[in-house]
Structure 1
Amino acid sequence: MSIDIPRGTQDILPGTVEKWQYIEQKAREICRAFRYQEIRTPMFEHTELFKRGVGDTTDVVQKEMYTFEDRGGRSITLRPEGTAAVVRSFVENKMFGNPTQPIKLFYTGPMFRYERPQAGRFRQFVQFGVEAIGSNDPSIDAEVLSLVMNFYQSLGLKKLKLVLNSLGDTESRMAHRDALINHFKPRINEFCSDCQNRLETNPLRILDCKKDRNHELMKTAPSILDYLNDYSKEYFEKVQQYLTDLHIPFEVDANLVRGLDYYNHTAFEVMSEAEGFGAITTLCGGGRYNGLSEQIGGPEAPGIGFALSIERLLAALEAESVELPIEQGIDCYVVTLGDKAKDKSVSLVNDLRLSGVAAEKDYQDKKVKAQFKAADRLSAKYVAVLGDDELEQNVINVKNMETGEQEEVSLSSFVSYVKEKLL
């Protein structure tokens, strides 16, 4: 009986993994420019962290988490998202005491959600995310948005749409909450059981319901923008002003909610408008989460961040027919003829590799012609041919595969010769 890969997961094979590496390198480069430092948190945490941080009423906590009991009887959950774990680390490691604030962090790694697998969505997926913790300044919101938009554009994506909303502060949200309850309550029996359960606990979640999104009451639901107090209005206007100053186009959508409970004030999504990308167009989501630090036992530490799926990003690149500039092939392939030459190739290839040259040789006793074919398949820039006769004379023939030019080089200068040619 064969064992297949679990549903909702994937193998990332050579030939494709190079795209992932390129994207991850681009992420690190832009984070360095914006002065965000990498953080790595565990792939599993105490379940209570996500219940408190993400929210008991969210689909993530209620339906999608991989939760199990360890041998000590503790409830453990594979991380479904990155923000709660980063804020937990911020609190636990007392980063709030660092004199340089805000603390600006990024992460990349696997997340786990039990969802129905579909194009670009997996049960194990990889996120790149950014968190800026310790500032209430709306300019940090604009900075985070600039980072993600510039990241996408640096990879060649053009058909992007940034959508914004404000969820307001606690006062604004409570006023909006009461309006939502009054709006939905008379006909709540027409909605799914989840929405009915959330009416009193968290009516904002109703607006994020996938089952009832086409219900007529959704279209006429009270807008949060009508319930923002003066502080929340001014904050949102500042964010928009900064984005305009940065020449970043955006749209305001009062129905944008986001699926996690910790969001307040700025909420946003980046969407792909590429033809054929699919019904679900969201590439990235994020927002401000003032209060999350306090929810998990830390001091007041307002924050903002985003997370994006690498799988969705790759799908968007494909939809826009963007070819990443992945360097293909190797630098040098050593072809041998004769047993002594074959033995010598072991140290020759090793010397090339240790000097930084990507090199390869034959390991299957192939004929010379087959070795040349192997070098061609690997797109070798140079092919070095060593026979027993050349070995006796301490020389090796090096061929430039692009120009066809060939030169005899002494074995003692072979490595430095190849390195110089590659410059």
Structure 2
Amino acid sequence: MKIILIFLTLVQFSWGADATLEVVKGVGGLSPLAIEDSSLQTSDLSRKFTQMLAADMNVVSLFTVDQSYASVPFNSLSPSPQHQDAQYLIRYRLVDDGAGGMRADVKMLQNGNEFFAKSYILKQSEMAVFLSHAIAYDINAKLGGSPIDWIKRKVVFVRLTSPKRSEIVVSDYTLSYQKVVMSGGMYGFAKWANSEQSEVYYTSLLDFKPTIYKLSLQSGKKDKIVSSDGMAVCSDVSEDSKRLLLTLAPNGQPDIYLFDLTSGAKTQITNYSGIDVNGQFMGDGSIAFVSNRLGYPNIFSTRMNSTAVSQLVYHGKNNSSLSSYKNFLVYKARENSATFAGNSFNLHLLSLNSGNVQRLTASGENDFPKFSYDGEAILYIKQEGARSSVGVIRFGVNKSFVFPLKIGRIQSIDW
């Protein structure tokens, strides 16, 4: 239990709905876009939907987005007075279905000419932010933008609610929508179990030993995977969802294990007297992990059935979190070591093919980096002074966005 507490990272957040552009390069030629509400009955939701869609279209990065609210008839060919300078317009009409859901009629106009139209059905109006994500995805695809498949995917995180209580929460990438799927106990290290995002692995501390379970989000069924003294964490899932990388500590010190879900076989990968945690599958067949072999957390790699260990990262003195996608690693590194001043933890991208390292953030404390399922973006948490946010880095357009948050304390996050 002591080991688990050492590796719990707690972050405090403040909440907001709008995306803020953090880093922009080459936006001089973007066309102005405005969003207008054409709902027959204006409501708090229909007004707020402008903010949701404006945030998503900012992330799409094909326009400069006017976030001012306006109400205009759906079939009007002219923009509202405050949107006269907009070359592009998105009109939406939300219609309540009377059963907790709604229909959304959406169209997009360029200089008064309609070139995109689609109707959407949403069974639960509380999930309206996912409707916004779907609209942004479709418009981006229509205009041939850089891939954003990740925008429609869900995020799972663990929120600490009291010293011995936590919740597992499913949300969208902005954390605007949140649904608690597990509560009433002490849980940690939630991880998606498959690409369909229908199941989640998590660690329970309610048992005699830390235990990893798989939770079905549809049925609520929980299947026990493995228990271990001291520590039990699922840190990565193979692309085919058949193998897991686990951190277990049956003899007191944590090591990396490979777990085969088909056979139930458990293979020890590392065997070190210190701390080896957070194993990640790499595209070349090796495994990256965090270890204190140098006297501080750093990132190393090894291969199956091999005792050889190689150092991967030579930058920073506290590289305690990482994520992988094929032959790329994203990791956090401490930029200074001041005893009394605040530390700066920035994210860096490492290419295993070339060895090149690129810094992805410039300020604050940045943690919990997670590649999207397709490797097109990185989700992370930023703490800068009193402001805390969830961040998204898009490689295809070389931009980064932050969404202010207020959700309590996060222990882990995955998407």
TM-score range, shorter chain: under 0.3
**1 or 2, which has the higher strand percentage?**
2
Which one has the largest radius of gyration?
A: 1
Provide the TM-score with structure 2 as the length reference: 0.25
Provide the TM-score with structure 1 as the length reference: 0.24
**1 or 2, which has the higher helix percentage?**
1
